[in-house]
Amino acid sequence: MESGMDLIHGSGIQMVQYLQTSYKDSQNLFLFISFAADLRNTFFVFFPIWFYLCESVGIKLIWVAVIGDWLNLIFKWILFGQRPYWWVHETAFYSNTSVPVVEQFPVTCETGPGSPSGHAMGSAGVYYVMVTAVLTLLLQKQQQQFKKWCTHSLLWMGFWGVQLCVCLSRIFLAAHFPHQVIAGVISGMAVAEAFNHIQLFYKASLKQYACTTAFLFLFALGFYLLLKVFGVDLLWSVEKAKRWCVNAEWIHIDTTPFAGLLRNLGTLFGLGLALNSQLYADNCKGKQGQRLSFKLSCIVFSIIVLHLFDSFKPPAKIELLFYFLSFCKSAAVPLTAVAIIPYCLFHITRTHDKKIL
């Protein structure tokens, strides 16, 4: 088994080297793709856009992203996947030859296990939701079979083009092996497809959101503690990252397993708070909330405010404080986009209308 994985990893290193040598001038492009595929952009950009264009799709995006990333964490803890940038230094596979040179970048040194790829899984899940949503909206209006086929083909070609770019980016950056990004894409699509057959989360109460958040956290924490009792340290990858990353400043606490977990659970809980708030009921469900100009204004202001909000970085010196503030910050994202921004715009426009009268 180990020799078989060594062969898979060895061939993966060859692909990493090929991409790094053949496409060295595309380094900035690969870095941008990796940044764009981060789930932060789902929460800070895609969610507010889709929520006001089609509320159900916006809600589904959050659920697919959060549950997908939670499953990704559990899979990583079970599979103990290596990452190229540290495996190449620790393996005995190159005992009779020179160790290949694998270049590292500022986003290479992620601290979690490598399989499946979180970027690939998140990107596949999120884009699968968006593509299927666009197809549903467009194909309802189109009658000609040929136009339907062209629309269907173009959108899925775009989907696979995005996934290919994300996968190549993660391999180029030496953050993942090829089989890990493939597993991520398949897993992400499976999660998104599963949510196409689940309707309960659209009308979930605040209590259900709170219980779901608590269950996901306690299950992950319990799984971690249970294996720790049996002598299995699920944070083994953090030590490898610290040991083999060429620049200690490239190791960030927000890439650790529990940081990602609490960040995503905060977003889910914040969505529950927002959707069950009186601010949302008063300002998004009334006549004003259905106007296109109001929705477009909410999208623009939400993206601007959330972008400014994202610039706040919780202090990382005290780990528990960082986790708590990350949870609170993430909870504030959907709460701001869904409840606070519409409330502010509603009262601004109402005051403006009164002045005109």
Predicted confidence band of residue 123 (pLDDT cuts 50, 70, 90): very high
Q: To 5 degrees, how large is the angle CA 214–CA 215–CA 221?
A: 90
Higher pLDDT, 4 or 169: 169
Q: Name the token pair of 14.
A: 């060859």
| Alpha-carbon separation of residue 237 from 16, 147, 240, 334 (angstroms) | 20, 49, 5, 31
What's 255's DSSP letter? Answer: G
Rounded mean pLDDT, 128-142: 86
In order of 30, 40, 303, 324, 356, the CA distances from 241 in angstroms are 21, 22, 33, 23, 61
First to last CA, the chain: 78
Q: pLDDT band for position 1 (50/70/90)?
A: low
Q: Is residue 119 among the annotated active site residues?
A: yes
Q: What is the pLDDT of residues 285-295, one digit of tens each?
A: 666 667 888 89
Contact 335, 47 (CB under 8 A): no
Question: What was the pLDDT predicted at 357?
Answer: 46
- In tens, the pLDDT along 52-107 reads 999 999 999 999 999 999 999 999 999 999 999 999 999 988 888 888 999 999 99
Residue of 119, 179, 347, 352 with catalytic role: 119
Number of Cβ atoms within 10 Å of the Cβ of 280: 19
Work out the percent of the chain whose per-residue pLDDT is above 70. 95
User: What is the per-residue pLDDT across 297-355, written as a single tens digit (0 to 9) for each?
Assistant: 999 999 999 999 888 888 878 888 999 999 999 999 999 999 999 999 888 876 655 55
Catalytic residue among 9, 89, 152, 176: 176
Q: What is the pLDDT of residue 3?
A: 72
Across the chain, what does the average pLDDT equal?
91
- Is the pLDDT at 49 greater than 70, yes or no? yes
Q: Is the pLDDT of residue 202 over 60?
A: yes
pLDDT digits (tens, 9 = 90+) for 250-296: 998 888 889 999 999 999 999 999 999 988 887 766 666 678 888 99
Question: DSSP class of residue 312?
Answer: -
Distance CA 21, CA 97 (A): 20
pTM of full prediction above 0.85: yes
Instruction: Supply the pLDDT for residue 288.
Output: 67
